[in-house]
Amino acid sequence: MIKIGIIGTGNIGTDLLLKILREPNLKPVIFAGRRMTSDGIQIAIQKEVPVTDKGIKYFIDNPKCCDVVYDCTSAEDAKKHAIIFAQQGIKVIDLTPAKVGDLCVPSINPEIIDVNNNVNMITCGGQASMPLLNLISKHCTGLDYVEIVSQIASKSAGMATRLNIDNYIHTTERAIREFTGCNNCKVILNLNPAEPCVDMQTTMFLKFKDINFEPLVEEIYKKIKELKTYIPYYELVLPPVINHDVLVLSIKVKGTGDYLPEYAGNLDIINCASIEVTKRMIK
């Protein structure tokens, strides 16, 4: 049994808590926020999960209270928290684009949690695109340029998301460079105010010199099947096509509706990925 702490009781933290409660080998021992009146803390109380409004001070006062802590706060706060958790020897799964720990994608490098006490789950766009970008990079030569464009519902972008947009872009671009080997890349995030709310969609563009296309397409469908084992509503909505030496494909992600609305697949995917990498510790 792995003892879990969560710091940050907003939308992501609350949805994450509800998902963890379904996992038989993960036990939430503290849900730490700043306001006892927050919706997240009230839900945790109903679920009989220990709560606190002391935030990071709780972990300072109760060192090593858990085996793993999920940081669902902000990039700036997560950088400060990382110092405290490192001193206590607690593993951190960082859901903010803080760029402190090693970048982690469960379908690419889940073993990183074994050797590093702080792993970063990149961003929603990173978790959506990186498994496919990494795969494509292995089937082409002369990869010159990578661009990803993510569209999310404006209502799914809370204050922390909006404050962290620069960090989102820089962290996702860093992940592209690390997982594809291509240094020429660009990341775009669009907040769509449409009603009814749109689902998260990420479109990828890759410019290359040569590509082994048919075997790649077969591998892409295998990879999507693998991803759906922990991201249930991960769908390919534009199959890979080549136009003037540019490969284009697009995926859509819907949420499972635990706490967040189903259109907030951008928040759901990073929670699903975080739990999946934690399961590596159980294995």
Residue in the block written with tokens 């922990």: 230
| Relative orientation angle of helices 124-137 and 213-227, to the nearest 10 degrees | 150
Judged by DSSP in three states, 236 sits in: strand
Tokens of 71: 């940081």
- The CB density around residue 95, as the number of other CB atoms within 10 Å, is 26
- On whether the CB atoms of residues 27 and 15 are closer than 8 A, the answer is no
Phi-psi region of 14 (alpha: psi -120 to 50; beta: other; left: phi over 0): alpha
- On whether the CB atoms of residues 236 and 251 are closer than 8 A, the answer is yes
Pick from 279, 257, 255, 1: which is nearest to 128 by CA?
255
Rounded to whole angstroms, the Cα distance separating 56 from 32 reads: 7
**Catalytic-role residue among 124, 140, 182, 185:** 124
66 is catalytic: no
Strand arrangement of the beta sheet that strand 234-243 belongs to = 185-192, 145-153, 200-207, 246-253, 234-243
Cis before 261? omega within 30: no
Contacts of 55 (CB under 8 A, 6+ apart): 7, 32, 33, 34
Q: Which residues are catalytic?
A: 124
